[in-house]
């Protein structure tokens, strides 16, 4: 195609013309699609959506777990000028109802061929089944006629992503075609991707990390994605021993893979084509980073982003063995700054960012948009960080998660890093809890293989060697599993509720 790419569906059309016989996608069941056969799937999805009346400015909600159909319908909606609302099928019926009422989709697609949860939601609606090359899905044509106009001076909206753990009115992050194209191209360039790469795709396409940094990044360069409906460490191991060359993941995925191979008597990965490994959504600690690099025999790259920034803000390009545990400098074309009025110690401030990666705003929510995007054009992330002398960003926590204990600021990631160094701890989550005298207790929830066998006293002593007195946990709660989103991100706002019995 000689014309510039201005929308994500054009990536598929370009790749079908230029790399038609090259691998584009491996579905959850092992079926392989070339760029030409995948483009044919997009044609089929477009025909089904057009028949249902989907047109410019309408919303298509996709209730899904990862499958070829998700990608096909996403690109098809883009062709029709519609806006996709990807939603994880593992959400509760109530959560889906709230998002549906806010987004007003004209059509809802359910990935019933791959997800029991999606099938359960579809069973409560009037749907029609489609079974095409992209897989089996069901469509609920709601008939809602409520198109969203494109604001003057912007590129059209491409997706609405509803953020994890929202309370009150749902917050739909509006990402434009320009946002997604920039994020995909930047991610592919930063990783040095080529059309011969195969990206492991267990991160949900319903989350910005999987959507932008995995699917759109691959499409932007003509690379392939191997999709997994749900993460399983044994399937990841098999994929790494087959075609996968790039592994974007979250710490829990790495930890579970290393636990699996350790149980198999393997201390390091071998006989793979893997060349790039990254970890996101949680801070790194030095000991864990060294362990992961020894296992993969590759540098472990770190990064930072959020839904409102179309995933990417910063990223590292470190050699193996680097002690750097920052999230790196800003990505090309991205600006960052700090508001030191929030944080106010040791150069810590609220992280601000500006550039073509920043969302348009929250869907039909001008008040929240104004809070996140004041008139200076910077996105207020709500995260706390500091910038070192080399321009690298260090994320120290969420502004709302900052613990103030006896007048001292305690940043949960620092406490978590100390606990995570212990060999029996897979990962941890630290929060504050207000006490009757106005102080805050530090509660630590630690995930381990056998909670009943964890030596709490020994772990407390271990933490005491690494943390000054006011940073040490008041209480350590062992558990086999922490509440987490489908991405692996720990849902800290649910900890008190989930462990109410243990806390008393």
Q: Average pLDDT of 329-346? A: 85
Number of Cβ within a 10 Å radius of residue 44: 17
SS3 382: strand
Domain, as residue range, for 162 = 9-178
Same domain, 318 and 371: yes
Same domain, 166 and 75: yes
Q: How confident is the model at residue 166 (pLDDT cuts 50, 70, 90)?
A: very low
C-alpha span between 215 and 318 (Å, rounded)? 24
In this structure, what CATH number is given to the domain that contains residue 386? 3.40.50.12780
What does the pLDDT look like over 205-220, one tens digit per residue?
999 999 999 999 999 9
What does the pLDDT look like over 245-280, one tens digit per residue?
999 998 778 988 998 999 999 989 988 999 999 988
Of 375, 398, 421, which closes a domain?
398
> 30 and 122 in contact (C-beta within 8 Å)?
no
Of 398, 430, 454, which closes a domain?
398
Query: Is pLDDT above 80 for 439?
Result: no
Of 371, 398, 425, which closes a domain?
398
Question: pTM for the full model?
Answer: 0.84
What confidence score (pLDDT) does residue 158 get?
98
C-alpha span between 154 and 175 (Å, rounded)? 11
Same domain, 375 and 412: no
Same domain, 286 and 393: yes
Q: Average pLDDT of 480-487? A: 82
Give me the DSSP letters along 4-35: PP-STHHHHHHHHHHSTTSEEEE-TTS-EEEH
* Domain count of the fold of the chain: 3
Same domain, 415 and 386: no
Q: Is 287 left (phi over 0), alpha (psi -120 to 50) or beta?
A: alpha
C-alpha span between 192 and 162 (Å, rounded)? 30
């Amino acid at each position: 195609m000689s014309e510039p790419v201005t929308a994500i569906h054009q990536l598929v059309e370009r790749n079908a013309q230029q790399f038609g016989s090259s691998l584009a996608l491996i579905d959850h069941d092992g079926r392989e699609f070339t760029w030409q056969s995948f483009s044919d799937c997009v044609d089929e999805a477009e025909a089904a959506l057009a028949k249902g009346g989907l047109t410019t400015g309408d919303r298509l909600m996709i209730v899904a777990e990862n499958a070829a159909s998700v990608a096909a319908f996403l690109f098809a909606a883009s062709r029709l000028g519609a806006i996709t609302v990807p939603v994880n099928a593992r959400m509760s019926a109530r959560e889906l109802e709230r998002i549906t009422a806010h987004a007003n989709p004209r059509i809802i697609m359910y990935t019933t061929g791959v997800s029991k949860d999606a099938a359960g939601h579809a069973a409560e609606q009037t749907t029609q089944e489609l079974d095409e090359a992209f897989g089996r899905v069901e469509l609920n044509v709601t008939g809602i006629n409520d198109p969203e106009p494109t604001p003057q001076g912007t590129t059209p909206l491409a997706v609405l992503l509803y953020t994890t753990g929202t309370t009150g009115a749902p917050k739909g992050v509006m990402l434009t075609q320009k946002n997604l194209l920039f994020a995909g191209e930047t991610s592919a360039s930063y990783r040095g991707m080529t059309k011969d790469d195969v990206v492991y795709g267990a991160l949900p396409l319903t989350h910005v990390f999987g959507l932008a940094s995995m699917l759109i990044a691959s499409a932007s360069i003509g690379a392939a994605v191997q999709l997994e409906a749900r993460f399983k460490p044994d399937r990841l191991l098999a994929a790494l021993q087959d075609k996968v060359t790039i592994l974007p993941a979250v710490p829990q995925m790495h930890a579970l893979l290393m636990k699996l191979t350790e149980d198999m008597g393997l201390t390091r990965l071998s006989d793979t084509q893997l060349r790039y490994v990254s970890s996101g959504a949680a801070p790194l600690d030095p000991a864990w980073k060294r362990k992961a690099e020894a296992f993969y025999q590759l540098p472990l790259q770190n990064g930072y982003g959020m839904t409102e920034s179309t995933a990417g803000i910063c990223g590292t390009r470190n050699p193996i063995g680097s002690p750097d545990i920052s999230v790196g400098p800003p990505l090309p074309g991205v600006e960052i700054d700090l508001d030191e009025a929030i944080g106010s110690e040791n150069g810590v401030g609220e992280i601000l960012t500006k550039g073509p990666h920043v969302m348009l705003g929250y869907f039909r929510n001008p008040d929240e948009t104004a809070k996140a995007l004041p008139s200076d054009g910077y996105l207020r992330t709500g995260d706390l960080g500091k910038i070192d002398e080399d321009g690298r960003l260090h994320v120290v926590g969420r502004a709302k998660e900052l613990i103030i204990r006896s007048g001292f600021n305690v940043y949960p990631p620092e406490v978590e890093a100390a606990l995570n160094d212990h060999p029996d701890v897979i990962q941890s989550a630290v929060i504050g809890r207000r006490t009757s005298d106005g102080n805050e207790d530090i509660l630590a929830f630690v995930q381990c293989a056998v909670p009943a066998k964890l030596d709490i006293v020994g772990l407390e002593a271990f933490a005491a060697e690494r943390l000054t007195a006011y940073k040490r946990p008041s209480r350590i709660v062992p558990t086999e599993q922490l509440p987490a989103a489908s991405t692996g991100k720990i849902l800290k706002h649910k900890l008190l509720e989930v462990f109410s019995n243990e806390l008393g």
